[in-house]
Structure 1
Amino acid sequence: MSKGPEYTIPPRTQTLGYLAMWWIEHHCVVPDGDNAGASFVPSLDHRVYMANWYRVKPTAKPGERAAAFVYRIGLWVAAQKVGKSPGVAAETCLEFVGPSLYDGRAVEGEMYICPWSGCPCMDDPYFYEAGEPRGKPWATPRIQLAAVVEDQVENTWGALVPMIDDGPLANVIPKTGEAFIRHPNKNRDSRTEIVTSKADGKLGARISAGKCDETGLWNESNSMKKFERNLRRGAGGMGGRVSHSSNPYDPAENSVLQDQMESQLPDILKHHFPPPAALEFKKKADRLQIFRWNYASSPWVDIRTVEAEAVALMETSPAEAERFYGNRIVAGSGTWMDMARWTLTGLDGLEGRPEPITVSARTKVTLGFDGSDNNDHTGIRLETLDGYQFTPTYGPDNNRKTYWKPADWQGRIPHAEVNAAVDQIATEFEIVRAYCDPMFWETDIDNWGAKYGEKVFLKWATNRISAMHASLERFRTDVYNPDAQFTHDADPDVAVHMRNAIIRARNVDKLTGLRQYILGKPADHQKFDLTMSSVLAHEARMDAIADGALDVPADNYVYF
């Protein structure tokens, strides 16, 4: 097991990040503490983030702003106390008066020329590599530091002001203020300022950069989702970019950060390196390993202090403690699946786990189907008789997942696509049992039964509380139990749906005296249909085995 994150770092010829790091070290100072006034050196984790955040497209042209960069939105997600606030303050200085715009490619021997006369950085100039992106400052930048309330952004603002006043930037920016900092070009609109949900009159302004603080707390209830959309529109109007810094989010709170982390858009940088899933936050020995992982590049952090604060928080909010100090996306009360255990049973080639299995044709499988019409999602999961669960694919090139969202199909689930997928699955594999939730799909399931066997394709209503509760308990038990030999393909969409599912208590079973439950979702957009498909596929497998599906030797699998 690795002792720290394994980063991917682009070379100098692909990013402005190396120039950005040099500039920060030569212009920004440590804002407080024993080393106040010393050169500010970004942590390793922050340097990796910046190297990727400032990656330049191979096709970038001089004069392009946001369009020159690979990423439009940046997410720096890390544990409490790693230094995100002073890091963001240093980025703000760079975006305000430093070389944060693409300015073509350098030739061998070329160096960055600081536009601020007399700047001491020229005593140690930055020489570009041949082909490295050149940088230049914005002519009229406007930066907004955004948070729910002013107290929240104070950590960044409180680091920004002394970072300027107590170092070389004091000669560039002669005056800082309590509410905004004016740019040395004296342009009325060139400034760095605070914007909050309580005073959002500045929203809508054309901005060169938006720095969003703790977006794991931004949601609909505090009006911050609309706030963030307005901020992005302001950046888009000027060719600016928006970055977030936050602790991991609570999946039950439907936050802006969750929306961005779960987005499939390729222009969102997701810089989040949680500790290995095998380490349990509840165990002190594991917890110390987690802290060493999270704070590997933060030598100023005393792990003993973090441990004391985490233990105190665990008394009242263990999930919050694991998010803040464990750097994990953990739901609060009511969550159904322990995501660390779900991750451990997945095959994805990470943390020493084997690669996903390629299941050979005509393998015996069971099928789980949970469908919708025009609101929830629809998905199919398969499970082999020896307990490997996966999302099959279909289509002319066999590259479409059996997972459908109304938004991708003109607002409705495409029955023709689902039927084509079932036909292809039935041709490729031997389905020994399929459990299908019949709501909205009665006729389709009847047709599948007519084609492939009425004793194979069975209607399994998920609104039966006793039956559903028993299936949920069996599935979760087998996921948690290492002797159950359950594994899965680590499908990221399924992981999101597992994380979304929360427990909804129902009546007490008269025979056992235990309170039963079903699953629900924290918010309407947080779907868990693939969770239901997974549970149904597993229930079908266990019932098929009980009915003798293993009496005939199962086909061999081909593993790659």
Structure 2
Amino acid sequence: MATLIVPARDEESWPTLGPQVCSLLEERAVHGPGDLRGRDYTLDVEKRALIYRWYEVYPKGHPRAGKRRFKRCGLSVRKGTAKTELAAAVAFAELHPEAPVRCDGFDAHGQPVGVPVVDPYIPMVAYTEEQTEDLAYAALLVMVTEGHDADLFDAGLERIMRAGGDGKAVALAAAPDSRDGARTTWQHFDETHRFVLPRLREAHQTMQANIPKRQLADPWSLETTTTYTPGEGSVAEGTHEYAELIHQGKVKDRTLFFFHREAVARDDEDFTDPAQLHAAVREASGPAIASWPDFDGQVEQIASLYNQPDTDRSYWERVWLNRRVRAGNQAFDAGRWDELARDHGLISPNRLVTVGFDGARFADATGIVITDVATGYQQLYAGWETDGSADWEVPEDEVHEAMAEVFGRWQVWRLYADPPYWESEVNAWSGTYGEKRVQPWWTNRLKPTAYAMRAYRTAMVTGAVTHDGGRALRDHIGNARRRELKMLDDEARPLWVIRKERPDSPFKIDYAMAGALSWEARGDAIAAGARPRDSYVYTSSTTRTRR
């Protein structure tokens, strides 16, 4: 069994409020949505051990006696282990007006004495607004409304308050209100492997920065997740890699506790063997989960999912074995993309470049990517991505301004622009900058688009393309998934185009398409023997701040 526990358990146990917290939960809380809904809450051995670690405090006589040992805790375990409900149970304790969750001195035996938090503020963050009611907050709502202490809370769909009004938990899909940001006493981030979008990573960073502000409340954070897809740049990926650095002694940080379990990958692994398949699921589950009623039945169901013909087995390994596996249908290798970053700054004025443009007007993203023809160095010059609001729209005037800057600053050999949603603008650019330089490039032409995607991917593999390391373009590269086409190339190899992981996915790919179009134009420029003009004069007086 592969587990990473940071820090490992000390030979001598630390004082902890864990036993008192566990007693409160099993006496006063109930299970949330699911088969056990409304029944008295019970903790298995592993969850009890985690709570003991999470609530360790500095011992009596220490300069920080009674203060929490860990300010940030991370839990990474496979799908279906009730980790979200565990987070809700911790939220229940942190909000409860009688819970022993902070140390108020020590008894005669040197054990901490627990007291409740004064005026708690508890943001609970999900990756989309729609999910706030489906994850930990939903479980907490059941715990406080259907449990033994329902009279102690005033609960609603967006906030749960103590009956006296001196504290609340709120469901969020972004950073807390600026007025509340400094009030945080405990916070939870749910399914952080999905925290890939810039706004979610920024929210996480902002909220982590709030933790030191309210020192008397001894605040802390909890992150729960199934493991991440490598290369997507999620919060889960960052936390796990940071924990590994601490474990390796490369970073010193005494404030993080991290627990991860996965099934060990073996060289001779063969999941066509039912015994090996079942053993891997058991290994990823751990001994505590294996003691659940009809655990063997659950293993059988999970194994059957692996054997279904339409199963994405990379995804299956990630969620059921908790292994860090690249998505099997990822179009581009985001890790390889990272290796191609070069800190050359903005492409110099007057250089011969090609441009790619792709995007939508509403609830999506639009980007302009430029490529230096001579070097293959590429960068996102301007990008606009939805903020998630229903009325968001790409600012058309900014797009026109950015395009004017591109044509004024560089020698643009070709702009390849995907016209849908922008046909009139593409026509206008053609009239302004010339029909030869501005060309519609329809990505709904599947075969040409498939060849363009292959060429872009090949450029990454060979290192022909480099880039400035910009995060936004990298995110879209990592988000792109393959859509296999029912057609082959001249050598009978399957063709594919890119798509989002699902139609309603918040993970955008428009900048990746713009990058591919810019690269396609660069290939055509080289094939045509394009050369920069010595007489070209740089006319733009501004430099755009890229986003």
Query: Where on the TM-score scale, by shorter chain, does this alignment land: which range?
Result: 0.5 to 0.7
How far apart are 1:334 and its partner, in Å? Answer: 1.5
1:200 aligns with 2:141: yes
The match for 2:206 among 249, 259, 267 is 267
Q: Which amino acid aligns with 1:468?
A: T
* Cα pair 1:336 1:503 within 8 Å, conserved: yes
Other structure's SS at 1:518 match:
strand
Gaps spanning 5+ residues in structure 2: where? 1-5, 17-45, 69-74, 94-99, 123-134, 145-154, 210-220, 232-240, 253-259, 272-312, 537-547
**1:335 to partner: Cα distance:** 1.4
The residue number in structure 2 matching 1:516 is: 495
2:14–2:56: 8 Å Cα contact kept in structure 1? no
1:418-457 to 2 correspondence within 5 Å? 418-457=399-438
Match of 1:380 in 2: 368
1:334 to 320, 329, 338: 329
Give the match's secondary structure for 2:344: coil
Tell me, yes or no, if structure 1 residue 545 matches structure 2 residue 476.
no
**Which digits, 9 at most, give the CA deviation of each residue in 1:132-188, with x for residues without a partner?**
xxx999xxxxxxx9x998842698889xx9xx99x9977399999xxxxx9546999
SS in 2 for 1:439: coil
| Residue in structure 2 matched with residue 18 of structure 1 by the alignment | none
Match of 2:481 in 1: 502
In structure 1, distance between residues paired with 2:413 and 2:7: 66
**Letter of the structure 2 residue corresponding to residue 391 of structure 1:** L
Change (3 A) 1:262 1:507: farther
Q: Matches of residues 296-311 of structure 1 in structure 2 within 5 Å?
A: 296-297=248-249, 309-311=264-266
CA distance in 1, matches of 2:368, 2:117: 60
| Counterpart amino acid of residue 340 in structure 1 | G
Mapped pair 1:239 → 2:183? yes
From 332, 338, 357, give the equivalent of 1:343: 338
- Deviation of 1:343 after TM superposition, in Å, equals 0.5
Match of 2:301 in 1: none
Amino acid of the structure 2 residue aligned with 1:366: T
2:247 aligns with one of 295, 307, 310:
295
Identity of aligned residues (%): 21
- Specify the code of the residue in structure 2 equivalent to 1:390: Q
Q: What TM-score results when the alignment is normalised by the length of structure 2?
A: 0.54
Within-5 A mapping of 1:174-253: 183-184=114-115, 197-198=138-139, 200-201=141-142, 202=144, 204-206=159-161, 236=180, 239-244=183-188, 249=193
The 8 Å contact of residues 294 and 327 in structure 1, kept in 2 or not, is answered as no
Within 5 Å, which residues of 2 pair with 1:38-77?
Answer: 38=14
Distance in 2 of aligned mates of 1:477 and 1:343: 15
Counterparts of 2:365 and 2:330, CA distance in 1: 20
* Cα distance change, pair 506–552 in 1 and its aligned pair in 2 (3 A): same
- Pairwise CA RMSD of aligned residues? 5.8
Q: Give the Cα–Cα distance (whole angstroms) in 2 for the partners of residues 172 and 464 of structure 1.
A: 78
Task: Provide the aligned length of Structure 1 versus Structure 2.
Answer: 379
Matched, 1:464 2:445: yes
Compute the TM-score of the two structures, normalised by the length of structure 1: 0.53
State the shift of 1:189 in Å: 10
Q: What whole-Å deviation, never above 9, does each CA across 1:440-471 have from its counterpart, x for those lacking one?
A: 22221122122222111100001111011000
Q: Which whole-Å CA distance do the structure 1 matches of 2:10 and 2:121 have between them?
A: 33
CA contact (8 A) 1:469 1:517 kept: yes
Change (3 A) 1:389 1:257: closer
Report the Cα distance in structure 2 between the residues aligned to 1:174 and 1:268, rounded to whole angstroms. 34
Contact 2:175 2:207 in 1 (8 A): no
Residue number among 375, 378, 394 corresponding to 1:413 in the alignment = 394
Residue 231 to residue 537, structure 1, CA distance change in 2 (3 Å): closer
Residue aligning to 2:97: none
Distance between the aligned counterparts of 1:174 and 1:197, measured in 2?
38
- Contact kept, 8 Å, 2:419 with 2:440, in 1: the verdict is yes
